[in-house]
Amino acid sequence: MKMKMSIITALAFLMTSCASIVSKSEYPVSFTSNPAGCKVLVKKNGMVIHQGVTPSMVTLSASEGYFTPAKYQVEFTKKGAPTLTVPLTADIDGWYFGNILFGGLIGMLIVDPATGAMWKLPENVNTSLTSIASVTSENGKTLRIVDRSAIPSNVESQLIALR
């Protein structure tokens, strides 16, 4: 009887996984901006899954599939300021490595990746939008003056130098 109970206990121990017990697979993420009142769009694979005005909060899945972290694009817009797009990607949850001690291979290779508990999202995404000055000519061309440090790196390559 003791042997049977020991085997059952060992199997139960091996079937558990650390991150699935301690963590979760969906996280509330708050979006804040300076100044407040910016429109925020959360996109996944190009589709808008949340829209609101900062401060705003939404619960997002940390997993996009088996062993795949979720990836989002967060777009902040406000009249008089350039649109700012911030990537939001889930990171590995530290509790996932608890499987080495407590969850075993089943937790590490099956349970946590399948439930998405191996990933986590940040609690807050915060950004600052810098006001700009712009002038539009009669022919429809616009000149915008912005602080270069406020420009995302993917947009900076599109700047045109004036001499």
What is the pLDDT, as a whole number, of residue 66? 85
Average model confidence (pLDDT) across the chain: 79
pLDDT value at residue 3: 66
% of the chain beyond a pLDDT of 90: 32
Contact 16, 102 (CB under 8 A): yes
| Count of domains observed in the chain | 1
In a domain, residue 163? The reply is no
Task: For residue 145, tell me if it sits in a domain.
Answer: yes
CATH number for position 41: 2.60.40.10
For 140-156, write each residue's pLDDT tens digit: 887 767 666 666 666 77
Q: Measured between alpha carbons, how far is 26 from 56 in angstroms, rounded to an integer?
A: 16
Count of other CB atoms within 10 angstroms of residue 59: 11
Residue 2 has pLDDT above 80, yes or no: no
pTM over 0.85: no
In a domain, 161, yes or no: no
Give the pLDDT mean for 123-128. Answer: 90
Average pLDDT over residues 21-41: 86
In this predicted structure, the answer to whether residue 133 has a pLDDT above a threshold of 70 is no
pLDDT recorded at residue 7:
60
User: Of the candidates 66, 60, 26, which has an alpha carbon nearest to the alpha carbon of residue 40?
Assistant: 60
- Tell me whether residue 101 is in a domain: yes
Tokens matching residue 150: 């406020």
The residue-averaged pLDDT of 60-83 equals 89
Span of 41-45, 65-69, 135-139, 140-144 with lowest mean pLDDT: 140-144
- Is the model's pLDDT at 105 over the cut of 50? yes
Identify the domain containing residue 48 by its residue range. 2-156
User: Within a domain: residue 31?
Assistant: yes
Cβ atoms of residues 42 and 51 within 8 Å: yes
